[in-house]
Structure 1
Amino acid sequence: MAELDSIAAEARERVESIGAADLLIGLPACASGESLETVASGLRSAFPKTVLVYPPAAIPGVNRNGDESAPDARVQLLPYPFVPVERRDGRVQPDDLRSVFLIGQKLGTRSCAVLNSDIDSSTPAALRALLEPVLNQGFDLAVPYYARRKFDGLINSAAVYPLTRALYGKRVHYPMAQDLACSARLVGWCLQPASSRPVPLSWMTVNAVCAGLQVCQVSLGLAPPPKDTADLSAVLASVLGSLFQDLDRNVMFWQRSRGSQAVRTFGQLEAAPEESPAVDVRKMIDAFHLGCRDLMEIWAAVLSPATLMELRKLAKIPPDQFRLPDDVWVRLVYDFALGYRQRVMNRDHLLRAMTPAYLAWVASFALEVQDAGPRQVEARLERLCLAFEAQKPYLVSRWRWPDRFNP
């Protein structure tokens, strides 16, 4: 059981006064009293004794003693000092997750959910959909499965999904979940005693899979727009850095994992709108050429000679024929994961240097699927995922014998 002194001091008295609850829902991105009421009214009739945890600075004047308008007092309110908005990077913060889990464990909840997306009229239905598999179907983690337009979420499509699928063996299409529902069992696993090694909470999907717990995905329509994506290099370094950081901790799991299996999906995946933002392929290819000119020394410190040679060849291809082969891209991602582990240079600097190569992948993908329909796009991305799985022995060999295996 979580100790009360692990919870922020300003919330302890309120937690003690609530005493016990069935559900705890963290709303770190909640920005108004209207948003809070949208969630409360949508859950009031569905779940008994729910606690909503929200940032008080964003909602001054909300009654901190709960929702007195509800005659059965099913919804209780709990102000909590979440990570301030100015320190967020658009992703759910591990400190926020840990706070929600600590409070949920203290209150003895059956499930904890966290919603990091903006709140609108569809939010209560999405929360109910995420909670249903955890509360009534025996799952330990439910994450969204979004409909995707052709050029949406390309960091996820290019690296995050295929890499986590190949490493951990589960086909969770959006493993970097911003909204999620967790069972008490998963919460307890994440809050292991202080004497053991703390469990990082950046990748809850990875945590659940490595713990041998049950993971599912829930269709929730079109993905919300990304936040704070102006600095692509910073986003790429943040996302891949946190993913690569977990590899050492989970090495015994992912080196034994073979192939991949589908996870259960609840709901019908909606068709995404056909229109998709235009992609400036020429600008991306120019950025790749600039990287080949200015970053070759950094790339040479991390990439295998064969991968480096393929990038040099790619730089000479005319723009209309520009294609980055899957096996080259996969080995490049694996090489950067190894370089991150070996600390060949400052880690943030290393991952930012990957940006031109990532833009080369995006340009190649955009040219290849520019006239493709949704099914062809999905088939193309499935081939990429299979390439990550097929090339996994390359990563394992270089991880185990970095000096002996360098093709």
Structure 2
Amino acid sequence: MNTMSNEVDIIIGIPSLNEADNIAFVARQLALGLNKYFPTHSAAIINVDNNSKDGTKEAFLGAETDKIPKRYISTEETVVGKGNNMRNLFIEVVQRKAKAVIVVDADLKSVTPEWVKTLATPILEGYDYVTPIYSRNEYDGTITNHITYPLIYALFKANIRQPIGGDFSFSPRMARYWLGMAWEKNTRQYGIDIFMTTSALLNGFKVCQVALGSKVHKPSAPKLGEMFTQVITTLFSNISKFRNVWMNGIGNKDCPILGNSSYKEPQGLSVDYKGIRKASFDGFSKNEGIISSILSPSYYHITQRMYHAGRWNIGSELWAKKLYDFIFAYEMSENKEDVVEALKPLYFARVASFYRQTMDMTHQEAEEKIIKQAKQFQRMRDTW
């Protein structure tokens, strides 16, 4: 195995939890990209793991990466969460004095050597943070489509299409900044991506987006419950924490798309509509008391009638109004976890509504509807 030098120009991190079946493929693609596009740069691939029990470590270290050294780092036995993996990576980046850092999810089927060039080049040319643009199925990334994207678009006035995409790059300056920030519990878990994006946007860092083609990966639906809680808690916390910044129009609004972002056919995806619908109705029944105390009376009564009729039809305007009510309630409440939990069934109701509204549309038509929703959020910002 090639030895990793003390200082490395380009570091690629692969966060993982039980990804033995795919991580070697990802590592091979990344090594091909480093050798092809950055042959004169020192480089390393680091697997930041969560004590996987399925042989992820062995699969990663056994991957063929030619001359590119590999390093495996795991959290302690009882420590879980993607954010803890990323914190280990940030520390390594600072210690190794890296010039550019790429992060790619371990479950990716669509990663190519070209991703390395696309993600690393803007950082080496002076950008601090790079987020992806994908051709992505409209029912994949529902937290992004219906919450993080429209809220960042409206409140921060930044058109970042994939703020929690999982595949991005950043400068060592960003790593040092993140390590210096206070980390909440959810930041150490799935809240890490939105923590990184919002802090980059609101603190004067140079941000851009790059086109990566289509995203093909394992379905995220099985993790949606815990992911929702951790992402939304972190997002709402940062909206509150940085209120003076975004309210006064301070921050990074210019987030250009670099490279060719032409349309590519996205990954096919089956939708468990019945499961989503059941989760929404069960959750509404359980949380109706707190929902009624948070929503404006007219919005609550509309929602209640839909619930009793057994059919959701939540459009983008009503969804925006509800989400703004919940942001306000989160900031004012002493029981913030209860507020986020009460939002979850309404989120599932919006996802179910969107599925019914778009099931006969093309992917591009559905994408246009998602973009129009973000613009609806922006129009309603001033009336909030």
Which category of TM-score, normalised to the shorter sequence, fits these structures? Answer: 0.7 to 0.9
Contact 1:165–1:385 (CA under 8 A) maintained in structure 2: yes
Q: Distance in 2 between matches of 1:148 and 1:238?
A: 22
- 1:393 paired to 2:379: no
3-state SS of the aligned residue for 1:277?
A: coil
Structure 1's 28 and 260: CA in aligned 2 closer, same or farther, altered over 3 A? closer
3-state SS of the aligned residue for 1:212?
A: coil
Larger mean Cα displacement after TM superposition, 25-34 or 176-185: 25-34
Q: By how many angstroms is 1:333 displaced?
A: 1.2
Q: Aligned runs of 1:233-272 on 2, under 5 Å?
A: 233-257=225-249, 263-272=256-265
Q: By how many angstroms is 1:270 displaced?
A: 3.0
Q: Distance in 2 between matches of 1:275 and 1:267?
A: 22
Q: Aligned runs of 1:29-44 on 2, under 5 Å?
A: 29=16, 31=20, 36-44=27-35
- 1:178 paired to 2:171: no
* One-letter amino acid of the counterpart of residue 226, structure 2: A
3-state SS of the aligned residue for 1:315?
A: helix
Q: Distance in 1 between matches of 2:155 and 2:307?
A: 30
* One-letter amino acid of the counterpart of residue 6, structure 2: G
Give the one of 37, 53, 74 matched to 1:46. 37
Contact 2:26–2:106 (CA under 8 A) maintained in structure 1: no
Q: By how many angstroms is 1:293 displaced?
A: 4.0
* One-letter amino acid of the counterpart of residue 244, structure 1: F
Give the one of 105, 119, 140 matched to 1:116. 105
* Counterpart in the other structure of 2:90: 101
Structure 1's 45 and 375: CA in aligned 2 closer, same or farther, altered over 3 A? closer
Structure 1's 302 and 344: CA in aligned 2 closer, same or farther, altered over 3 A? farther
Per-residue deviation, residues 347-398 of structure 1 (Å, max 9, x unmatched): 0x43233232122212322222222223432332222111211222354xxx
Q: Distance in 1 between matches of 2:69 and 2:268?
A: 42
Larger radius of gyration: 1
Give the one of 270, 279, 284 matched to 1:277. 270
Q: By how many angstroms is 1:240 displaced?
A: 1.0
User: Structure 2: any 5+ residue segments left out of the alignment?
Assistant: none
Q: Aligned runs of 1:3-402 on 2, under 5 Å?
A: 18-29=5-16, 31=20, 36-47=27-38, 48-55=41-48, 58-60=56-58, 70=67, 75-82=68-75, 87-88=80-81, 93-118=82-107, 122-136=111-125, 138-192=126-180, 201-202=192-193, 203-226=195-218, 229-230=221-222, 232-257=224-249, 263-273=256-266, 276-278=269-271, 280=273, 284=276, 288-315=280-307, 319=311, 322-345=312-335, 347=337, 349-395=338-384
Q: By how many angstroms is 1:44 displaced?
A: 2.4
* One-letter amino acid of the counterpart of residue 245, structure 1: S
Contact 1:101–1:112 (CA under 8 A) maintained in structure 2: no
Q: CA RMSD in A?
A: 3.5
Q: Distance in 2 between matches of 1:305 and 1:183?
A: 47
Structure 1's 19 and 233: CA in aligned 2 closer, same or farther, altered over 3 A? closer
The number of residue pairs the alignment matches comes to: 363
3-state SS of the aligned residue for 2:69?
A: strand
Contact 1:166–1:260 (CA under 8 A) maintained in structure 2: no
Contact 2:129–2:174 (CA under 8 A) maintained in structure 1: yes
